[in-house]
């Protein structure tokens, strides 16, 4: 059972005990109780805590994909469900994909499972997320079509220059630090970028225009084209998590 981050806080905290958590678990027919926390730090780590039980490994099944992770170490945004599903539909057969911020496989796994891509290179610098990612690739039967690169993608992707047909940049609040790596990783024939970020809720267009300008400045010899930003979910009051599909030729 996952409780909201605000549950049993404040004055309630002085009355919480193992007996209370057991009563909550029994009432909800659960064996474990955890409380969600904020996602923080450059590695986007979870601050959830176990209130009853010690095993924090959980598996979420979504659109035919199993996502396993340690609840107290790794994040999982349920609000990104439609974007994860969409990533299983956009790639073409035989493509090589580079995921610059793979996490536990949020977007790589649906691509591997639901499309006919040839290979995904998964870059991730959080060791906890990489451990979960490797388990998930095996659990979903797609490890043979993937390579995991632990460490800074600005270093690891140097060996992948010119290799990718499609690059995923799923980092919030901004993936701008990955723009240069992404452009250089695309094949000489071009390809596609999926750029995530945070935009004003009433002005996605300005954010999208800024992304295109920034990408264009990386390599003025490339042709950059993009449609409207796609809203993924609300990020904060007056701000949205959005993604921009960019064609590079």
How many domains in the chain?
2
Can you say how many angstroms the Cα of residue 214 is from the centroid of all Cα atoms in its chain?
22
Whether 143 and 244 share a structural domain: yes
| 203 domain residue, yes or no | yes
Residue 14 has pLDDT above 60, yes or no: no
Whether 51 and 104 share a structural domain: no
Give the model's pLDDT for residue 82: 96
| 67 domain residue, yes or no | no
Whether 16 and 104 share a structural domain: no
CA atoms within 13 A on the CB side of 225: 6
Q: How far apart are CA 123 and CA 142, in angstroms?
A: 16
Q: How far apart are CA 131 and CA 113, in angstroms?
A: 19
Whether 162 and 198 share a structural domain: yes
Indicate the pLDDT class of residue 177, thresholds 50, 70 and 90. very high
| 64 domain residue, yes or no | no
pLDDT digits (tens, 9 = 90+) for 190-225: 999 999 999 999 999 999 999 999 999 999 999 999
Whether 101 and 214 share a structural domain: yes
| 139 domain residue, yes or no | yes
| 62 domain residue, yes or no | no
| 72 domain residue, yes or no | no
Whether 100 and 29 share a structural domain: no
> What value does the mean pLDDT of the chain take?
91
Spatial contact of 167 and 191, defined as CB atoms under 8 Å apart: yes
Whether 213 and 170 share a structural domain: yes
Give the model's pLDDT for residue 236: 94
Whether 41 and 82 share a structural domain: no
Give the model's pLDDT for residue 215: 97
Whether 112 and 15 share a structural domain: no
pLDDT digits (tens, 9 = 90+) for 102-157: 999 999 999 999 999 999 999 999 999 999 999 999 999 999 999 999 999 999 88
Whether 51 and 86 share a structural domain: no
| 225 domain residue, yes or no | yes
pLDDT digits (tens, 9 = 90+) for 69-96: 988 888 888 899 999 999 999 999 999 9
Q: Where are the beta strands (DSSP E) in the chain?
A: 2-3, 33-35, 49-52, 57-62, 65-70, 96-99, 119-124, 146-150, 166-169, 191-200, 224-226, 230-236, 239-248
Whether 83 and 194 share a structural domain: yes
Indicate the pLDDT class of residue 232, thresholds 50, 70 and 90. very high
Q: Can you give the CATH number for the domain in which 98 is found?
A: 3.40.50.150
Give the model's pLDDT for residue 102: 97
Q: Which residue segment(s) compose the domain that 17 sits in?
A: 2-55
| 66 domain residue, yes or no | no
Whether 29 and 96 share a structural domain: no
């Amino acid at each position: 059972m996952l409780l909201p981050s605000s549950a049993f806080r404040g004055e309630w905290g002085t009355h919480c005990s193992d007996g209370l958590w057991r009563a909550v678990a029994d009432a909800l027919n659960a064996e474990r109780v955890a409380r969600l926390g904020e996602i923080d730090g450059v590695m986007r780590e979870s601050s959830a805590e176990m209130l009853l039980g010690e095993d924090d490994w959980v598996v979420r099944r979504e659109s035919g994909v199993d996502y396993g992770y340690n609840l107290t170490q790794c994040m999982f945004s349920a609000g990104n469900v439609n974007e994860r599903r969409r990533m299983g539909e956009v790639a073409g057969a035989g493509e090589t994909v580079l995921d610059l911020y793979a996490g536990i496989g949020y977007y790589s796994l649906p691509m591997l499972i639901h499309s006919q891509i040839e290979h995904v290179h998964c870059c991730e610098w959080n060791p906890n997320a990489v451990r979960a990612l490797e388990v998930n690739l095996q659990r979903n039967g797609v490890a043979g079509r993937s390579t995991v690169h632990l460490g800074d993608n600005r270093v690891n992707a140097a060996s992948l220059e010119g290799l990718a047909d499609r690059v995923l940049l799923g980092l919030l609040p901004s993936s701008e630090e990955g723009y240069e790596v992404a452009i250089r990783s695309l094949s000489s024939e071009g390809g596609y970028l999926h750029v995530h970020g945070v935009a004003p809720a009433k002005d996605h267009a300005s954010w999208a225009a800024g992304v295109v300008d920034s990408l264009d400045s990386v390599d003025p010899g490339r042709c950059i084209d993009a449609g409207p930003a796609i809203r993924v979910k609300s990020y904060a009051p007056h701000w949205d998590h959005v993604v921009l599909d960019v064609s590079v030729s």
